[in-house]
A and B are shown apart, each in its own frame.
Chain A
Amino acid sequence: MNYRLVAKYLGHFTIAISGMMIVSVLWALYYMEGWQSLFDIMQAIVLGLAIGGLLTFLGRNASNQLFQREALALVGLGWLLIAAIGALPYWTTGLLDPVDAYFESMSGFTTTGSTVLVDIEATPKSILFWRSFTHWLGGMGIIVLFIAVLPYLGAGGKQLFRSESPGPDPRGLSPRIKDTASILWKIYLGLTLIQTALLFTAGMSLFNALCHTFGTLATGGFSPRAESIGSYNSSFIDGIIIVFMILAGTNFSLYFVMLRGNWKALFQDTEWRVYVGILLAATILITVNLMGIQAPTAPDSAAQTPSLDYGWMHAFRMASFQVVSIMTTTGYSTDNSEIWPLFSRALLVVLMFVGGCAGSTGGGLKVVRFIILLKLAHNQLQRTFRPKTVRPLRINGQVVGTEVQKTVLNFFVLYMMIFAFGTLYMSFLGLPLQTAFTSVAATLNNIGPGLEHVGAVENFAFIPASGKIFLSLCMAMGRLELFSICVLFIPSFWKHS
């Protein structure tokens, strides 16, 4: 392991992230939050720059050769460190203690959106902006941003890109990885401008429009309002956010193909069609369920919940927003799903694991992995009665190699093991089963709110410190798709060959 090199790049990342905190200073000035607030944020910036400077100094003589091991370490450590640097403003302003600050920051960068802030409306705007801004940076990927901007990464950049980009087999859009990274960021930036403008015309202030855009496109979920999008109670705003959540959960390389002239690319893509199909099906099921139609249950059954009797319009609006928000792993809410019938809530939990498409800003297992798993299962079933037939596994007409199939299976197994262990650990800390279960599901899949005590209108503040640290790790593992974080815990990874 080339520690110096890792230290050097970590130093550069830290300096860049600290520099970006300037945006908070600007909002503090704009809202005239007073000298104290300015001073607190500046303190965070200076602290961050000092840490970055120290790391850069430690790596001053490093060579520039970035190998696979260094790239993995850089992504894993980089995310853990960047979350710590991003946590500084919450801490220096005295808003949160260090563990809470780290949780909030990690939740921001990983676009989870779980919060420990109890009173959001009382939080200074500058901090709220930073919170949403971390979403935006983490959504398309901090490291992808660095690849686009830094001139010197070369082939090493490709390793970094693969470790951070979601999906089973991330491919470049252009032969040069730097081009790929900058194309992705430009598309992301373009979508950001469009959505901000739309929300602004829909009546949001520029501040709220920006924060909500960051939360939507990164599939994050932080809102500067306590009641999230529901506080606007506007079907126009709901509509904009739904559309952009769906766009954010789509593979960004499809937009690139579309921009190059193939307008049908979206509809030709198997993954996208399945993705939209699931969204539609789940919306219809929940709409019907919310309209008060339920399977007959025994009178004393725990499954029986009071009928909501939503009108079909209202039911559809609430169902579609919540379904899209959960499946794309955004985590905004317009309704308190706690009062929904059990079937609807259960369906939401299932959707949590599906997540967005590969190459999107969404979390979860990704639609394409489910398609591969289902096709594998189907092939396996057929093999039981037609053992000699050879069936290639195809997606979009392309054969998926056994190597990729194996990685997807491994990934699924590891994911489920971590999830099971997490649920056990959270219940060990004294959380009720549904809370324990959904707190891990919501963080590992980068969604935000879970159910019961961590539901849409609740927060994560009551969880013990060790639980918050564990959930922070879950968020990082979910965002980086396990491997980059998991290898950090394998001792031989750190040894010299």
Chain B
Amino acid sequence: MNIFIAGGGRVGFHLAQLLASDKQNVTVIDANPDQREQIDYALDVSTVVGDASSAMLLQQIGVAEADLFVASMGDDATNLIAAATAKGLGAKTVVARVDSPTYIESGVLYESILSVDYILSPEALAAHEIANYIEYPGRLAAKDFGRGLIKMRQIRVTKSPMVHGKTLADVLPPGGGVLLAVVERRGESFIPRGDTVVESGDHVTFVGHHEKLEAVQKRFQGEDAKPCRVVIMGGSPLGLRLAQLLENKIKSVKLFERREDRATALASKLTKAKVVCRDASMRSALEQEHIDAVDIFVAATSDDERNIMSCVLAKEVGAKAVVSIVHHPDFASLVHRLDIDLAITPRACVSNAILRLVHQDQVTSLAVLAEGRIEVVEAEIGNGSSLLNHPLKDPKTRFPREALIAAVLRGDEVIVPSGDDMLQKGDSVVLIASAEILENALKVLQ
């Protein structure tokens, strides 16, 4: 895919990095020559210096042939102009990143007015992700395919004694109709084997029979009582948005904001959620507000250090689960060491959303896991495939060992195959593989 990214700041850089490692053709436009130099040095992308909202420049660098144009510079208006210009010049899909809630909240469809395909706000996406996490604890992603007969669920393993510290063969014996496809642990992702030990905190992805999946999911997650008390620290746009998303769904939502003027303004925008004018990074404040009875504590100020430390404090005082907003992407992968249950980086939310757009375009792709490193695709068996005459584990099939056939759809029947099974004509399969070997695996299937 031919992708242009305007603005090589944190979001632009992160996105360029993800897409380049995904073997896409990426061009980054940045007005700052030093920034350009840095990107040019670090990433396998081409770089251009200039103003990305200039139609002349965009035309010159061939934006007309772009499959995707992403405007991710510092200023919202510039992003919208650049994206609209690129669209006008012929880019297939354009995305503008905005920071101000103005462009997404007001109920007006800026997308259609400006003819920009997607307007993404990092804060709003992050708020949605946290709300999702609170509403469906443990569930990270859900997807159905094969006419709803096959389900895929990505969940977080809790400290349930039924699974923690046990091998996969023990907790999920083969033949149960459900397969554990991918494990993500401390930033790494891999396809597990029978002797892989499950740990609490792992993000795991199941694929399997629609009727059997739920029971397995429960076993890995323990009791998933919906939380009823949520505390949000920081009346930032993100905090406000989160409170708005949750106030009608959760019994008690409290929003802490230490500045009185802002607290008043916030209160006028919320109906059911309570605004408390206090600094939630003070131990006394947390204790007085009975934080030990709180199910989830979310730190959503604009200051990473305050967020992280307040989360640690809240956990210490008794909060059951803590979520921190971490703006610095390099910090986000470290916070699990501090017993913080979830760290959300708003900027990464944008790049992940765009990455999903990229993959959506490729027809076969069903889902992307682990920041695009692992893909889930649906494929039909070709007539000449070596998998028709040999069992899956047979090396003669030349099917890559690192790829996984998670489920087979045969008529109305769902089969979770083991190594001894063979495929038949007309089967369609759910294939899980890392981006590098996906092509190879698909070749064997054809």
Contacts and interface: CB of A to CB of B under 8 A. Distances in A.
Nearest to A159: B41
A396 B43 CA distance: 28
A155 B25 contact: no
Contacts of B44: 154-155, 157-158, 175-178
A178 B41 CA distance: 15
A179 interface: yes
A159 B41 CA distance: 7
B21 interface: yes
Interface in B34-53: 40-46
B23 interface: yes
A172 interface: yes
A175 B21 contact: no
Given A155-B20, A179-B25, A172 B43 contact: no
A175 B41 contact: no
Contacts of B27: 175
A466 interface: no
B26 interface: yes
Interface residues of B, number: 14
A443 to B, nearest CB: 32
A171 B27 CA distance: 13
A157 B42 CA distance: 11
Contact of A154 (B21, B25, B26, B46): B21
A179 B24 CA distance: 11
Contacts of B20: 154-155, 176
A68 interface: yes
Interface of B: 20-21, 23, 25-27, 40-46, 436
Most interface-central of A158, A159, A178, A179 (chain B CB within 10 A) = A158
Contacts of A154: 20-21, 44
30 contacts: A68-B41, A151-B436, A154-B20, A154-B21, A154-B44, A155-B20, A155-B41, A155-B42, A155-B43, A155-B44, A157-B44, A158-B40, A158-B41, A158-B44, A159-B41, A172-B46, A175-B25, A175-B26, A175-B27, A175-B44, A175-B45, A175-B46, A176-B20, A176-B23, A176-B25, A176-B26, A176-B44, A176-B45, A177-B44, A179-B25
Contacts of A177: 44
Most interface-central of B26, B45, B436 (chain A CB within 10 A) = B45
Nearest to B2: A175
B25 A174 contact: yes
Contacts of A159: 41
Interface string A162-197: 000000000110111111000000000000000000
Interface string A84-110: 000000000000000000000000000
Contacts of A172: 46
Contacts of A158: 40-41, 44
Given A175-B44, A179-B25, 9 more contacts: A154-B20, A154-B44, A155-B44, A159-B41, A171-B46, A175-B45, A176-B26, A176-B45, A178-B44
A55 to B, nearest CB: 25
Contacts, number: 34
Nearest to B40: A158
A159 B37 CA distance: 12
Nearest to B45: A175
Most interface-central of A155, A175, A177 (chain B CB within 10 A) = A175
A158 B23 CA distance: 14
Interface residues of A, number: 15
Contacts of A178: 44
Nearest to A401: B33
A172 B28 CA distance: 14
Interface string A67-87: 010000000000000000000
Contacts of A171: 46
A448 B43 CA distance: 38
Contacts of B23: 176
A483 B44 CA distance: 22
Contacts of A155: 20, 41-44
A386 to B, nearest CB: 28
B222 to A, nearest CB: 39
B164 to A, nearest CB: 32
A155 B40 CA distance: 8
B46 to A, nearest CB: 4
A176 B2 CA distance: 11
A73 to B, nearest CB: 16
Nearest to A178: B44
A146 to B, nearest CB: 15
A158 B46 CA distance: 10
Contacts of A176: 20, 23, 25-26, 44-45
Nearest to B41: A68
A316 B33 CA distance: 50
Nearest to B39: A155
A279 to B, nearest CB: 32
A378 B239 CA distance: 62
A176 B20 CA distance: 8
A179 B44 CA distance: 11
A353 B43 CA distance: 35
Nearest to A172: B46
B154 to A, nearest CB: 28
Contacts of B26: 175-176
Contacts of B436: 151
A172 B44 CA distance: 10
A151 B20 CA distance: 13
Contacts of A179: 25
A114 B44 CA distance: 37
A406 to B, nearest CB: 14
A68 B42 CA distance: 9
A45 B306 CA distance: 63
Most interface-central of A154, A159, A178 (chain B CB within 10 A) = A154
Contacts of B41: 68, 155, 158-159
Interface string A359-391: 000000000000000000000000000000000
Nearest to B17: A155
B25 to A, nearest CB: 4
Nearest to B4: A175
A154 B44 CA distance: 6
A84 B46 CA distance: 35
A151 B435 CA distance: 13
Contacts of A151: 436
A158 B436 CA distance: 20
B276 to A, nearest CB: 48
A68 B46 CA distance: 17
Most interface-central of B23, B40, B46, B436 (chain A CB within 10 A) = B46
Contacts of B42: 155
A156 B194 CA distance: 37
A179 B27 CA distance: 14
A176 B41 CA distance: 13
Interface in A132-173: 151, 154-155, 157-159, 171-172
A259 to B, nearest CB: 16
Contacts of A68: 41
A174 B62 CA distance: 12
Contacts of B43: 155
Nearest to B28: A175
B390 to A, nearest CB: 27
Contacts of B40: 158
A66 to B, nearest CB: 11
